[in-house]
């Protein structure tokens, strides 16, 4: 959960496939082995007064939008067997169990059992600049002042829409696999812990980073329709001082490929190229190359998000356009819920060859410390704390049972979040097979060596090359970090945030090995016990919008500051309007602003609040009145105007839309 987290069925309904959504299942002899489809939708939550997810910084609440957040979905169907997988990557900090449950419920209300816990993989890019409050576990909602239903619904509805779009887009197609390397978009932010690993593990990463770029290329009838581009780096180029919604570096890479290179216009409701940039084992990988928040390669965090995003795009294009291996073989998946608080681990999976067990979740003191690399925590607490009687904890009156302290050793426990249901104990683990390519879907943040060991375990059980097994982090639920036992011993931030104790990784190795064995044998896996809903799941202390009122003698949509009459290309146009609260209408799959250009006597939208060169900012100017500040970096020569779309709320609760328009201006 960034560097500052406070805590950090059995088969597809194959017979029914042919009648759903007008998509039939072809015979095994079909020319194209798969049906493939892609979809995209908007998951942007409240643009004002919603705590942000990722840094756990109290007071960091949204004040507008730099770029909108998107959910990107891909559905693949094996035409021979009818088996399918739905893959989602969303511009979110995490995927929580609550979101996954709600998404599946909506999909099943539409498609029956076609998409289910086993074959739907939901993942997040891990941006730290989006609205939060979407978990049912209190620890992840604390700094956001509780569960925010509006933010939750925005993500759930957007994810569902993207999957529906991908489902309806299904057509005969193919998938291929490409690879490249990227060495200047990540740095190991916890190298002191990395160095504790055995030489054989470290030798796999000579620069202490994972440079692998893995790309799946999707085509329908020979036409390119999308790509999934995995690379390990945190989406934390933008710091905890930011309050504008942003998909950060991975979102920029996706936007640049889709919008700038492929001509996708998100509000035009037309099919287009969909490019996802998910994370893999990024637990100790930072984009801040100078190991300071917002630093590297420049000292401008927003510019850094662009540069690091562009570097990921360039490496992805190299893999996409380079040598390709055609994906062949069946589509399959396995999933089960595991109680990670009480896994008995066989000696075959532990470093010392002895049996061990995991522990109920505990947040370590080092979690509260954060670090200087991505977002510092409590300044007086250093990383690497292992003394359970650390004197700074005494005023907190934290009661951690002695047996749990012993089980979590050498962690200095701060809060027994598992016992309090503040963090999850039962989590979903999932293994997805796309032909010869496999995804190990982990509900957390995996360091590069932990990822390496987990991949080795799965690859060995499946009997496939390790390069065809990839970690999909931030998947299906969230339970903080996953370090090696050696890294855990040092109790840096990542180790302090490894909830289930020193042997968390061996437990995952054992449990994923069981999934891999079942997949190889073609046997079913019981789903296990679904996690319970905590009693504090929907606790919320954030006040909502009471009503909006314009300033005296003014009206909604009225200009406060107009545009100048002319600008040079590259200059910033800034316009201010009297507005209402953005929570009145999220304008999801819409926009709070338009830059319109006069073409042939008609005004045409050329930019909106999802574009890189615009910003939408909201601020209170009184108790119930507020203003919207819209900026645009002037583009090509022509005649333009700025339009603001807002909504006001009356005392009786009625919400009324309005628009405001700037003067016409020229760009030369």
The count of other CB atoms within 10 Å of the CB of residue 375 is: 25
pLDDT one-digit tens code per residue, 137-194 = 999 999 999 999 999 999 999 999 999 999 999 999 999 999 999 999 999 999 999 9
The count of other CB atoms within 10 Å of the CB of residue 427 is: 24
Q: Assess whether pLDDT exceeds 60 at residue 24.
A: no
Per the domain annotation, does 250 fall within a domain? yes
Asked whether 539 and 146 are in contact (CB, 8 A), the reply is yes
- Mean pLDDT value across residues 59-77: 97
Three-class SS state of 293: coil
- Mean pLDDT value across residues 223-235: 98
DSSP state of 530: P
Q: Assess whether pLDDT exceeds 80 at residue 458.
A: yes
pLDDT one-digit tens code per residue, 418-456 = 999 999 999 999 999 999 999 999 999 999 999 999 999
Q: What is the H or E stretch that residue 515 is in?
A: helix 504-521
Q: What is the H or E stretch that residue 150 is in?
A: helix 149-168
- Mean pLDDT value across residues 646-661: 98
597 shares a domain with 498: no
Position 253 scores a pLDDT of 98
pLDDT one-digit tens code per residue, 240-283 = 999 999 999 999 999 999 999 999 999 997 889 999 999 999 99
Q: Assess whether pLDDT exceeds 80 at residue 395.
A: no
d(CA 288, CA 521): 44
d(CA 131, CA 147): 11
On average, the pLDDT of the chain sits at 92
631 shares a domain with 581: yes
573 shares a domain with 486: no
Of the residues 466, 499, 521, the one at which a domain ends:
521
- Counted domains in the chain: 2
- Give me the torsion for CA of 405, 411, 417, 423, rounded to 10°: -140
CB burial string 30-69: b at 16+ within 10 A, e below? eebbbbbbbbbbbbbbbbbbbbbbbbbbeebbbbbbbbbb
595 shares a domain with 509: no
Asked whether 381 and 368 are in contact (CB, 8 A), the reply is yes
626 shares a domain with 477: no
Position 3 scores a pLDDT of 37
Per the domain annotation, does 453 fall within a domain? yes
Asked whether 245 and 44 are in contact (CB, 8 A), the reply is yes
d(CA 154, CA 277): 20
High-pLDDT (> 70) share of the chain, %: 91
> Which residue among 56, 162, 286, 366 is the active-site one?
286
pLDDT one-digit tens code per residue, 590-629 = 999 999 999 999 999 999 999 999 999 999 999 999 999 9
**Three state DSSP letters for 223-250:** EEEEEEEECCCCECCCCCCCCEECCHHH
DSSP readout, 439-482? EEE-SSEE-HHHHHHHHHHHHHHHT--GGGEEEE-SBSS--BEE
pLDDT one-digit tens code per residue, 490-521 = 999 999 999 999 999 999 999 999 999 999 99
137 shares a domain with 43: yes
Residue 611 belongs to a domain with what CATH number? 2.60.40.2300
- Going from the C-alpha of 177 to that of each of 139, 318, 435, the distances in angstroms are 38, 12, 11
Q: Assess whether pLDDT exceeds 80 at residue 641.
A: yes
Three-class SS state of 321: helix
Position 13 scores a pLDDT of 29
Position 369 scores a pLDDT of 62
615 shares a domain with 492: no
Q: Assess whether pLDDT exceeds 70 at residue 662.
A: yes
Confidence class of residue 8 from pLDDT cuts 50, 70 and 90? very low
Percent helix, strand and coil across the chain, each rounded to 5? 25, 30, 45
Per the domain annotation, does 406 fall within a domain? no
pLDDT one-digit tens code per residue, 312-358 = 999 999 999 999 999 999 999 999 999 999 999 999 999 999 999 99
Asked whether 580 and 647 are in contact (CB, 8 A), the reply is yes
Question: How far apart, in Å, do the first and last CA atoms of the chain sit?
Answer: 45
507 shares a domain with 427: yes
278 shares a domain with 156: yes
Of the residues 521, 539, 574, the one at which a domain ends:
521
Asked whether 279 and 235 are in contact (CB, 8 A), the reply is yes
Asked whether 666 and 566 are in contact (CB, 8 A), the reply is yes
Residue 286 among the catalytic residues = yes
Per the domain annotation, does 378 fall within a domain? no
82 shares a domain with 184: yes
567 shares a domain with 500: no
Confidence class of residue 362 from pLDDT cuts 50, 70 and 90? very high
Q: Assess whether pLDDT exceeds 80 at residue 578.
A: yes
Per the domain annotation, does 571 fall within a domain? yes
Confidence class of residue 399 from pLDDT cuts 50, 70 and 90? confident
Position 29 scores a pLDDT of 35
Position 414 scores a pLDDT of 87
Position 374 scores a pLDDT of 75
Per the domain annotation, does 366 fall within a domain? no
d(CA 615, CA 610): 9
280 shares a domain with 145: yes
Position 269 scores a pLDDT of 78
Of the residues 495, 521, 547, the one at which a domain ends:
521
Q: Assess whether pLDDT exceeds 60 at residue 398.
A: no
Q: Assess whether pLDDT exceeds 80 at residue 22.
A: no
Instruction: Tell me the backbone φ, ψ of residue 494, rounded to 5 degrees.
Output: -65, -40
DSSP state of 292: B
d(CA 549, CA 54): 33
Domain that holds residue 329: 14-338+423-521
Per the domain annotation, does 246 fall within a domain? yes
Per the domain annotation, does 8 fall within a domain? no
pLDDT one-digit tens code per residue, 89-117 = 999 999 999 999 999 999 999 999 999 99
DSSP state of 139: G
| Residue-level length of the chain | 668
């Amino acid at each position: 959960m960034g560097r500052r987290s406070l805590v950090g069925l059995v088969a597809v309904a194959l017979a029914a496939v042919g009648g759903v959504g007008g998509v039939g299942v072809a015979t095994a002899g079909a020319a194209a082995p798969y049906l493939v489809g892609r979809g995209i939708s908007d998951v942007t939550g409240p643009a004002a007064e919603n705590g942000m997810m990722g840094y756990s910084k109290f007071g960091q609440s949204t004040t507008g939008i730099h770029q909108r957040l998107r959910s990107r979905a891909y559905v693949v169907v094996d035409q021979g067997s009818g088996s399918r997988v739905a893959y989602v990557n969303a511009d979110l900090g995490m995927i929580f169990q609550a979101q996954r449950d709600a998404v599946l419920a909506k999909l099943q209300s539409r498609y029956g059992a076609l998409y289910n816990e086993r074959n739907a993989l939901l993942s997040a890019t891990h941006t730290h600049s989006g609205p939060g409050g979407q978990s049912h576990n209190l620890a992840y909602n604390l700094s956001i002042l509780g569960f925010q239903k509006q933010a939750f619904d925005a993500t759930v509805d957007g994810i569902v829409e993207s999957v529906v779009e991908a489902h309806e887009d299904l057509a005969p197609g193919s998938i291929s696999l490409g690879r490249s390397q990227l060495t200047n978009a990540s740095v190991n932010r916890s190298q002191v812990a990395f160095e504790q690993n055995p030489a054989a593990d470290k030798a796999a990463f000579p620069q202490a980073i994972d440079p692998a770029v893995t790309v799946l290329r999707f085509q329908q009838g020979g036409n390119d329709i999308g790509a999934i581009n995995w690379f390990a780096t945190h989406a934390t180029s933008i710091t905890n001082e930011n309050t504008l919604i942003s998909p950060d570096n991975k979102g920029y890479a996706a936007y640049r490929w889709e919008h700038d290179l492929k001509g996708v216009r998100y509000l035009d409701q037309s099919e287009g190229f969909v490019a996802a940039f998910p994370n893999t084992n990024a637990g100790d990988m930072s984009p801040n190359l100078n190991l300071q928040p917002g630093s590297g390669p420049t000292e401008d965090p927003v510019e850094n998000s662009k540069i690091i995003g562009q570097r990921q795009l360039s490496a992805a294009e190299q893999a996409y356009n380079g040598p390709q291996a055609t994906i062949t073989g069946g589509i399959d998946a396995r999933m089960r819920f595991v109680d990670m608080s009480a896994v008995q681990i066989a000696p075959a999976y532990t470093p010392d060859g002895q049996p061990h067990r995991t522990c109920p979740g505990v947040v370590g003191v080092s979690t509260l410390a954060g670090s200087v690399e991505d977002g510092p925590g409590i300044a007086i607490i250093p990383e690497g704390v292992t003394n359970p009687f650390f004197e700074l904890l005494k005023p907190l009156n934290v009661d951690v049972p002695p047996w749990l302290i012993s089980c979590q050793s050498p962690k200095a426990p701060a809060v027994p979040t598992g016992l309090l249901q503040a963090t999850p104990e039962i989590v979903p683990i999932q293994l997805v097979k796309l032909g010869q390519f496999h995804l190990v879907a982990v509900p957390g943040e995996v360091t590069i060596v932990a990822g390496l060991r987990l991949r080795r375990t799965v690859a060995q059980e499946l009997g496939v090359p390790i390069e065809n097994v990839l970690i999909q982090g931030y998947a299906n639920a969230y339970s903080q970090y996953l370090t090696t036992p050696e890294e855990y011993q040092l109790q840096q931030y990542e180790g302090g945030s490894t909830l289930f104790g020193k042997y968390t990784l061996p437990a995952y190795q054992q449990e994923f090995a069981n999934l891999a064995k079942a997949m190889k044998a073609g046997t079913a896996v019981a789903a296990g016990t679904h996690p319970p809903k905590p009693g504090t799941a929907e606790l919320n202390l954030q006040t909502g919008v009471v009503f909006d009122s314009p300033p005296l003698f003014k009206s909604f949509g009225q200009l406060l500051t107009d545009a100048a009459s002319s600008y040079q290309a590259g200059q910033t146009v800034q316009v201010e309007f009297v507005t209402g609260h953005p929570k009145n209408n999220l304008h999801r799959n819409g926009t709070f602003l338009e830059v319109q250009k006069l073409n042939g006597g008609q005004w045409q939208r050329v930019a909106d609040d999802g574009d890189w060169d615009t910003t939408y900012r909201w601020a209170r100017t009184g108790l119930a009145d507020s203003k919207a500040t819209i900026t645009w970096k002037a583009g090509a020569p022509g005649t333009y105007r700025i339009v603001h779309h807002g909504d006001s709320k009356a005392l009786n609760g009625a919400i009324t839309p309005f628009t405001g328009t700037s003067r016409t201006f020229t760009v030369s």
